[in-house]
Amino acid sequence: MRVLVTGGAGYIGSVVTAALLDGGHEVTVLDDLSTGHEDAVPEGATFVQARLQDSAPVLADVRPEAVLHFAAKSLVGESQQSPELYWENNVGGSLALLEAMRAADCRRIVFSSTAATYGEPDEVPIPETAPTRPTNTYGASKLAVDAMLTSYAAAHAFAAVSLRYFNVGGAAYGRGERHATETHLIPIALQVAAGTREALTVYGQDYPTPDGTCIRDYVHVADLAAAHLLALPAPAAGEHRVYNLGSGTGFSVQEMVNAVRTVTGHPLPVVVGDRRPGDPARLVASSARIHADLGWTPVHTELTEIVADAWSFMKDLPAPHHSRARGGTLQEGLS
Ligand code: UDP
């Protein structure tokens, strides 16, 4: 298939681009490089630097049969401080993209949604039928795009899939996670192990969980990429599907700390801090729907495997700002 990947210079977008190329697809990457890096774009993909708001001429030129839409702002804290960035980029940008698609008669889309659309869950594992009550602007902006896709499917015959990611980690195709501003647990812990940060602050040890730290569902980016390839052809015109992507198993922050110690051999000093506002105690996905519909089963489910793959990507990177020539084995990543 001829596809356009927005945000293909980022962490997940670049891994999925590599997987698409591997699967024989023809890929154009559109990315404004606000957080991604051109050298993350896999060799074999065409790269266009543009904002979503300026994507119409690109769609008109490329004439893709489908779009995989990763480009977004994705920092929860920033979304609370500067919500306008999230409404403009995530919602305004997505609307511009959908209109550009319509103009180019491209009506198939896979969208990167998030577990943050659910907010504090009533029950875990969380099914797709759970109430959506996002507790931050990031989640609200992604939920707004999910709603857009439902109405574009109904009114304009779009074939759409929203994939709601839980906690993505690991590395694949020589690509991993590396942001200028790092907020996520695994890369922060690995920065401590790599010696570029002094200690990991554990946000709260008084949660109602067995060891008092928050529980999350970590899914390997390679499994996530496989789900995108399955989802791409799945919906019919007029259909908007929503699928959770998680491993279905919860691990605590403390278990993650233990895994990082095991994998890196580093003592990983830890400081117990306050709870981070808006962090639910326990977020675990039910991925039963995508398993039943598309046969997706995550295979890299061991915490130590996710950490080991992230570590082997990260430990060789030159600090502080790592950059390798395009086509090299180590690449930059975004969200
Ligand atoms: N966390 C932590 N210290 C950090 C970063 C994260 O204790 O420096 C915790 C955070 O409170 C949450 C879990 O690790 O319980 C995963 O956080 P992350 O930001 O990686 O993903 P999120 O679940 O917020 O999407």
Ligand 1 center from residue 180 Cα (angstroms): 17
Atom of ligand 1 nearest to the CA of 203: 7
pLDDT-derived band at 181, boundaries 50, 70, 90? confident
Does 332 score more than 60 pLDDT?
no
**Ligand 1: which residue has its CA nearest to atom 21?**
184
In DSSP terms, 286 is beta-bridged to none
Ligand 1 center from residue 197 Cα (angstroms): 16
**Ligand 1: which residue has its CA nearest to atom 7?**
202
Mean pLDDT of the 151-170 span: 98
Mean model confidence pLDDT for the chain:
94
Does 320 score more than 70 pLDDT?
no
Report the helix count and the strand count for the chain, using DSSP H and E.
11, 13
Give residue 16's pLDDT. 98
**Ligand 1: which residue has its CA nearest to atom 4?**
185
Does 334 score more than 70 pLDDT?
no
Query: Which tops the pLDDT comparison, 316 or 40?
Result: 40
**Ligand 1: which residue has its CA nearest to atom 3?**
202
- Cα gap 228→44, rounded to integer Å: 19
pLDDT-derived band at 319, boundaries 50, 70, 90? low
Atom of ligand 1 nearest to the CA of 76: 24
Q: Which of 138, 165, 173, 207 is catalytic?
A: 138
**Ligand 1: which residue has its CA nearest to atom 6?**
185
- Cα gap 303→170, rounded to integer Å: 9
Give residue 324's pLDDT. 37
Ligand 1 mutation pick, 185, 190, 196, max ligand atoms within 8 A of CB? 185
Report helix angle 221-231 to 11-22, nearest 10.
60
Per-residue pLDDT reduced to its tens digit, 52-67: 999 999 999 999 999 9
Query: Which tops the pLDDT comparison, 224 or 178?
Result: 224
Query: Ligand 1: residues whose CB is within 6 Å?
Result: 167, 183-185, 188, 200-203, 214, 216, 253, 276, 279
Does residue 118 have an active-site annotation? no
- Cα gap 305→218, rounded to integer Å: 11
Ligand 1 mutation pick, 198, 276, 303, 307, max ligand atoms within 8 A of CB? 276
Can you tell me the ipTM of this complex?
0.98
* DSSP codes of every residue in 149-212: HHHHHHHH--EEEEEEE-EEE--BTTB----SS---HHHHHHHHHHTSSS-EEEE-S-SSSTTS
Per-residue pLDDT reduced to its tens digit, 12-51: 999 999 999 999 999 999 999 999 999 999 999 999 999 9
Ligand 1 center from residue 231 Cα (angstroms): 28
Does 130 score more than 90 pLDDT?
yes
pTM beyond 0.80: the answer is yes
Give residue 318's pLDDT. 66
Does 329 score more than 80 pLDDT?
no
Does 139 score more than 80 pLDDT?
yes
- Cα gap 49→121, rounded to integer Å: 38
Quick check: 232 and 68 in contact, CB under 8 A? yes
Ligand 1 center from residue 306 Cα (angstroms): 15
Give residue 180's pLDDT. 83
Atom of ligand 1 nearest to the CA of 184: 20
Per-residue pLDDT reduced to its tens digit, 100-129: 999 999 999 999 999 999 999 999 999 999
The superfamily in CATH containing domain 2-314 is NAD(P)-binding Rossmann-like Domain (3.40.50.720)
Which region among 254-258, 295-299, 321-325 has the lowest average model confidence (pLDDT)?
Answer: 321-325
Mean pLDDT of the 173-197 span: 93
Mean pLDDT of the 159-176 span: 98
Ligand 1 center from residue 252 Cα (angstroms): 10
Q: What is the phi/psi pair of residue 220, to 5°? A: -75, 135
- Cα gap 106→109, rounded to integer Å: 8
Ligand 1 center from residue 42 Cα (angstroms): 29
